[in-house]
Chain A
Amino acid sequence: MADSLLRVAMAASSNGFRTRLHDTAVSGVISATTFTGTPQNTADYDPMSMGTLANPGVITVKVDGYYVIASRTSYLGNVDATRMIGTTYHNGSEGVRGSDISGGGASAVVMSTCGMLKLTNGDTIEGVIWVSTGGSTTTAVSTLNTLELAFIGPA
């Protein structure tokens, strides 16, 4: 097997380029009409230390390649006629939009996003929420605010 092919196969088969973060305690403040990053304070797995536990939580890619990305963000303050967007930022701009909806009554809301992107070393991924009216918080429940990324293959 050619050296380059062997390196690709070994790197891919033993790669640790996968990260999952979630939030259990930090309650992120969401301002109206402002794209706001989702906090993350716990790593489920992060063998290559790509995740930054902060408000907002961020994953920074360390190797070029194709990746599956997923995020989940919640909003406590939903009232009737509030527009809400759940999306994923790639290097500070929208990469994949998951949901763009409006409430038909007062209720909590969770929106999720799943997509695939071609990323390069140093690229960042972040879960983001936007609401049209009112300020509120994320819900700080581990299943409701998550940020995930997994390497599919080399670019």
Chain B
Amino acid sequence: MDATELSAYSVQHNPWHAAMYNAATAQTMAVGGFVQATMDTVEFDPDGMVSGLGGTTAKFTIHQPGVYLICGAVTMAAVADGVRFCSAIYKSGGELARGLDTTPGTTTSIVTSSCAATTTCVNGDTIDIRGQNFTTNEAVHAGQQFVYLSIAYLGPA
């Protein structure tokens, strides 16, 4: 295989995409700073980017430098009226992009905060999603469509 073929293969048939979610694992995010979301199930992960399932270290590890699209969400089960909650995508331990930052205006309610971003990554970078409660500890509302994180390689940096 020559360089052109290798490039075509790596760019067009790349395996650098993955998705995971929390199907049913209970988690309470303590009030204060951002808390890493628990994930317990892989949806697809052909290159083995996922690690830390079942605990609060679930993340993607980058195996190929480039530009990536990242999408995710965190859902709280019961946020009270006037209580602030937000999510954020973290890259290598630092906040990369803030998701919806909201305060319910009703009685206790489920709240979903989603976030999407593109970023340049290098080998070994990690990506995870976190939630932040500002007033009280809050329980996560688990489910495939409620707590999830996905990533896809878009092209060379």
A residues contacting B by CB (< 8 A) are 1, 5, 8-9, 12-13, 66, 68, 70, 80-83, 85, 87, 94-105, 112-118, 132, 152-154
Q: Are A66 and B152 interface neighbours, CB within 8 A?
A: yes
Residues of A contacting B13 in the complex (Cβ-Cβ under 8 angstroms): 5, 8-9, 12, 153-154
Cβ contacts A to B, 23 pairs, < 8 Å: A5-B9, A9-B9, A9-B13, A12-B13, A80-B105, A85-B112, A97-B73, A97-B114, A99-B113, A100-B111, A101-B102, A101-B104, A102-B106, A102-B109, A102-B111, A103-B106, A113-B114, A114-B71, A114-B116, A115-B148, A116-B17, A118-B19, A118-B43
Residue B14 lies at the interface, judged by CB distance under 8 Å to chain A: yes
Determine if B109 and A87 form an interchain contact, defined as CB atoms under 8 angstroms apart: no
Indicate if the CB atoms of A152 and B152 lie closer than 8 Å. Answer: yes
* Chain B hits for A104, CB < 8 A: 103-105
Given contacts A5-B13, A66-B17, contact A81 B145 (CB under 8 A): no
- Flag if B44 contacts A66 (CB, 8 Å): yes
Inter-chain contacts of B107 with A (CB < 8 A): 81
Chain A interface, DSSP helix/strand/loop, else mixed: strand
Q: How far is the CA of A40 from the CA of B5 in the complex (A)?
A: 40
* Bound Cα distance from A112 to B73, whole angstroms: 12
Task: Find out whether the CB atom of A153 lies under 8 angstroms from the CB atom of B109.
Answer: no
Alpha-carbon distance between A109 and B110 when the two chains are bound, in angstroms = 17
- For B12, the chain A residues whose CB sits under 8 A away are 8-9, 12-13, 153
Q: Which residues of B contact A70 (CB under 8 A)?
A: 116
User: In whole angstroms, how far apart are the Cα atoms of A96 and B146 in the complex?
Assistant: 7
In the complex formed, the residue of B with least CB distance to A112 is: B114
Q: Would A101 and B111 be within 8 Å (CB), given that A9-B8, A95-B145 are in contact?
A: yes
B114 & A103 in contact (Cβ 8 Å cutoff)? no
Confirm or deny: B22 has a beta carbon within 8 angstroms of a beta carbon on chain A. Answer: no
Once the chains are docked, how many angstroms separate the CA of A100 from the CA of B111?
Answer: 5
A81:B9 contact, CB within 8 angstroms: no
Instruction: From A5, A82, A99, give the contact of B106 (CB < 8 A).
Output: A82
CB pair B19 A116 closer than 8 Å: yes
In chain B between 68 and 91, which residues have their CB closer than 8 angstroms to a CB of chain A?
69, 71, 73, 75
CA distance A87 to B112 in the complex (A): 10
Q: What residues on A are CB-neighbors of B145 within 8 Å?
A: 87, 94-97
Q: How far is the CA of A103 from the CA of B9 in the complex (A)?
A: 48
Whether A97 touches B104, Cβ cut-off 8 Å, given contacts A13-B8, A116-B150, A154-B13, is: no
- A12's nearest neighbour on chain B, judged by CB, is B12
Does B96 reach chain A (CB closer than 8 Å)? no
For A8, the closest partner residue in chain B by CB is B13
Cα A100 to Cα B17 in complex, Å, equals 26
Contact of B112 among A1, A82, A99 (CB under 8 A): A99
Query: Which of B9, B19, B109, B112 has the most chain A CB within a 10 Å cutoff?
Result: B112
Q: Given the known inter-chain contacts A13-B8, A80-B105, A116-B152, please indicate yes or no for A152 contacting B110, CB distance below 8 A.
A: no
